[in-house]
Amino acid sequence: MDNVRCKRERMIVRGRDRGTRLLLKGRRVSLTLSRSRMGLVLTGLLVCVASYKLGWFVMGNWALLGFFLCFLCVANVHNRLERRLRRLGTWIDVQESNLARLRVDWEGISDPMLSLSSEHPYAADLDLLGKYSLFRLLDTTVSRDGQMLLIAWMTRQDALSFDRWESRQKLVRVLTSLRGLRDRIRLVANCLSPNPIATERLESLLENSDPVARLGSLLLTASALAGLNMVLFVFWLLGGPGYWIVSFLLYALLLFLTGRRVSHVFGRALNLHLELDKLAAVIGIFEKRSYRRYPELQAMTDLWRNEAGRPSVAIRQLARTCSGLSLKAHPLLHIAVHLVIPWDLAWTWYLQKVCNRLRPVLQDWTLHLAIIDASMALATFAYLNPSYAWPCRQPEGNATATGISGTAIGHPLLAHEQRINNDLTLEGLGHVFLVTGSNMSGKSTFLRTVGINVCLAQAGGPVCAESLSWSWLRIRTCIRVGDRLEEGLSYFYAEVKRLKSLLVAMADRDKAPVLFLIDEIFKGTNNRERLLGSEAFIRELTIGQGLGLVTTHDLELANLEQESANLTNVHFQETLGDKELQFDYRLRPGPCPTTNALRIMAMEGLPVPGPGPSAP
């Protein structure tokens, strides 16, 4: 599989480099065309001026026409080239993004700047969102709804039915093989705007629309007054009485009275056509093709092909309407047009007609797009990591099969060259792995490795492992705990509250079992009470509705293995090389046989008791 990964990396690099060469060549041609346009303008002016100076007026006129037509032709070619170069530049950006995600190069991956509430039971601890997070690595979505749905899949607590989870994974696997479709969607969307499609304003526009009949009567009245104005104004110009002033005042009064309603619509429609153009372009790609070979994708896209009218056409209609309303952003032109016709009222009436047609179906369209969008993000992740396995979900209800079992499980946020994989079999309710080990040996990273792969599995994506099977688990973590000054919580009390919520979750036997991941339990208190509290808490875990891993530096806790068959000791360890510690990050059975705190202190020049290693 590493060979496949290397081949895909080389293919992306070759495509990017080829595109870059074409872009550079195209820019040189564009510069030549730009200079040609300037040359045509200057040459045309010189020829025309010289012709007129010499009295060759006919020749000057023909020269002016000829140079003007040549300029239009060159300008047309130049504009088409610029559009293609912008599209090529966007395509290169897509390939650069793919390459950065494959290499886990954070500098090349855009930060979506989204976050969850700090009260979420595990998102922060497992780096699901944030600057260096799973979501940032996954997020190749083109819509805000797709982003939020992807987050919801990663952070879902309640068990998803097996059939729904399986159909989601099948859709992701189908999209993994359709690289061209995925890249085209991103290309089309990013060419129009680098920002994700946001449908919130569109939904607000559809929900807050006036009855068409009421607007129709107002528009009919305003149009009649506008027509009467024109007739009376022409009649006045021909010498008749100035009755047009009366009709114009009535017309202006009607526009003033309806202005607030129109302004309300204008505020929601301003620049909305940009979002709609992008939405129409993306949906339009799926309208043009049937996916009979891929039943899962066919089922998701049939909605757009079975409509009486093409959804992309209807959405573009709405986009043009919103664009027409945007004339209000140009005050002088807006006033001039309204002297002749009730522009805003006409476009508002037409907007409500379009909204009435779209309101019953648009929510379903955007929902299906969000599902495909989120699935494409997981599919891109799978394509860029061909060595990752598709997880197998075990049926719920079997206490002995409850848990997680995997081989060569690694952390997906680490680069391939830095990643160390470990096997894990953690099955049966009440099963606890007590993880001991030296500082910096990889205990916390291993907890996150297990948790983040379970999140990927439950989202329907591939996992960073050679194989993985699991049953649905509710994740609870206690890894990154800090004091909260605004709430008056100390570090230790915040940890206690977190562990209490974990026990409360385990007590709910109507829901899926809990996967708990606890790092250095009760490290915020003194040694004696930490040991006593940890022993009591771990005993409670071994009889609860859950399973998981607990890390600790208290080697005395390893003796609990003699009390309970549900507790298993495992450890990470280090070796002392040339005056430096070396870690292999391999999980081993049994309690840790070594410690390294004094060694690290001595190596950094801090005073230590006894004959420990001298400072370098």
- Full domain range(s) for residue 513: 392-603
Same domain, 324 and 432: no
Number of structural domains in the chain: 3
Are 398 and 356 contained in the same domain? no
The answer to whether the beta carbons of residues 456 and 412 sit under 8 Å apart is yes
Number of neighbours of residue 376 by Cβ within 10 angstroms: 25
**pTM for the predicted model, two decimal places:** 0.85
Residue 279, domain member (yes or no) = yes
C-alpha to C-alpha distance for 333 and 320, rounded to whole angstroms: 18
Amino acid at 68: F
What is the per-residue burial (b if ≥16 Cβ within 10 Å, else e) of 5-25?
Answer: beebbeebeebbeebeeebee
Domain boundary among 77, 103, 129: 103
pLDDT tens for each residue of 476-507: 999 988 766 666 677 788 888 889 999 999 99
Instruction: Return the DSSP state at 197.
Output: B
Q: In the structure, what pLDDT confidence band is assigned to residue 577 with cuts at 50, 70 and 90? A: low
Of 389, 393, 431, 395, the residue nearest 408 (C-alpha) = 389
* Residue 297 neighbours by CB under 8 Å, 6+ apart: 171, 174, 175, 178, 291, 372
pLDDT at 321: 77
Q: Percentage of residues in the chain with pLDDT exceeding 70? A: 90
| Structural domain includes residue 401 | yes
What is the pLDDT averaged over residues 174-197? 92
- Whether residues 324 and 416 fall in one domain: no
Q: Where is mean pLDDT largest: 59-73, 403-417, 434-448? A: 403-417
Of 186-190, 362-366, 532-536, 579-583, the one with minimum mean pLDDT is 579-583
Name the DSSP letter for residue 238: T
Residue 543 confidence (pLDDT): 92
Element (H, E) at 59: helix 57-103
Query: Which residue has better confidence, 384 or 221?
Result: 384
Task: Kindly calculate the radius of gyration of the chain based on its CA atoms and give it in whole angstroms.
Answer: 33
Is the residue at 136 inside a domain?
A: no
> By mean pLDDT, which of 43-47, 191-195, 200-204, 386-390 is the weakest?
200-204
Q: Classify 268 as helix, strand or coil.
A: helix
The answer to whether residues 400 and 485 belong to one domain is yes
Q: DSSP for 349-395, please give it.
A: HHHHHHHHHHHHHHHHHHHHHHHHHHHHHHHHHHHH-TTSBPPEEPP
DSSP calls for 446-488: HHHHHHHHHHHHHHT--BSSSEEEE---EEEEESS---BGGGT
Evaluate whether 352 touches 215 at the Cβ level (below 8 Å). yes
Instruction: Answer whether residue 110 is part of any domain.
Output: no
Instruction: Identify the top-confidence range among 307-321, 383-397, 444-458.
Output: 444-458
Give residue 616's pLDDT.
Answer: 37
Angle, to 10 degrees, between the axis of helix 443-459 and the axis of helix 144-155? 120
Q: Among 103, 126, 141, give the residue marking a domain's end.
A: 103
Confidence label for 384 from pLDDT (cuts 50, 70 and 90): very high
430 shares a domain with 333: no
* Same domain for 285 and 432: no
Look at residue 575 in the predicted model and tell me its pLDDT.
75
Q: Are residues 76 and 24 in the same domain?
A: yes
438 lies in the same domain as 297: no
What stretch of H or E contains 493?
A: helix 491-507
Lowest model confidence (mean pLDDT) among 81-95, 412-426, 579-593 = 579-593
Bridge partner list, 572: 437
Phi (first) and psi of residue 346, to 5 degrees: -65, -45
376 touches 453 (CB < 8 A): no
For Cα atoms 422, 428, 433, give the angle at the middle one, nearest 5 degrees: 45
Last residue of a domain, one of 384, 418, 438: 384
pLDDT digits (tens, 9 = 90+) for 24-54: 999 999 999 999 999 988 988 888 888 888 8
Q: Is the pLDDT of residue 613 over 50?
A: no
